[in-house]
Amino acid sequence: MRKLKLQMQISLDGFVAGPNGEMDWLTWDWDDKLKEYVKGITEPIDTIILGRVLAEGFIPVWKERAADPSADVFTHQMVNTPKVVFSKTLTTHLWENTALANGDIVEEIKNLKNQPGGDIVAYGGARFASALIKHNLIDEYHLFVNPAVIGKGMSIYNAVEEKLTLKLVKATQFECGITVLCYTPAMK
């Protein structure tokens, strides 16, 4: 069965964006070791899943970056990897290499996990990640803790209705100030 990995940037106080989606607190001057860590997460993936809100920005931004002749391998991977956008409102889209999932999130994820292929990575957004967490669908959490406290904002834990116990697999500190916490569900 394929693994579903969640890769999310979070603030030290646990938010993934400010109250209005602000992301100006993120650390982007990643050191080479952090880039290698991300490469390790993404090499075995062959599917990216996103919520509709994030997809509307994510897909066009990566496509624009890939148009640059100096674009790196990772940028092309973000464009070329098949995507599934979860949406209750979209019935059509104009994105290449992208399918829509409009059904029950638990059934849709189970179907994806049971297909042959590599791992699956979820990048969010906040409500989508929260739904994945609520239904205990994530096999690996890769939380990129940024050295910033923003006080209030969007959380990926809003939909959680009962205790979810996780096991810390590793914590890795990087020179740029980000610490990546990797968790798996304690009981799955």
Q: How far apart are CA 111 and CA 77, in angstroms?
A: 23
Which homologous superfamily is 4-185 in?
A: Dihydrofolate Reductase, subunit A (3.40.430.10)
Tell me: pLDDT of 188 over 80.
no
Cβ proximity of 34 and 178 under 8 Å: yes
Mutual angle of helices 73-80 and 32-42, in 10-degree steps? 30
The domain ranges of the chain are 4-185
Mean pLDDT of the chain: 94
Q: How far apart are CA 172 and CA 154, in angstroms?
A: 24
Indicate if the pLDDT at residue 112 is higher than 60.
Answer: yes
pLDDT of residue 121 exceeding 80, the answer is yes
pLDDT at 7 over 60: yes
Encode pLDDT of 124-145 as tens digits. Answer: 889 999 999 999 999 999 999 9
- Strand residue runs (E) in 130-165: 140-146
| Backbone torsion region of residue 173, taken as left when φ is above 0, otherwise alpha when ψ lies between -120 and 50, otherwise beta | beta
- Range 39-53 average pLDDT: 93
User: Residue ranges of the alpha helices (H) in 5-122?
Assistant: 32-42, 52-66, 73-80, 105-114
Looking at residue 15, its pLDDT comes to 97
pTM recorded for the entire structure: 0.93
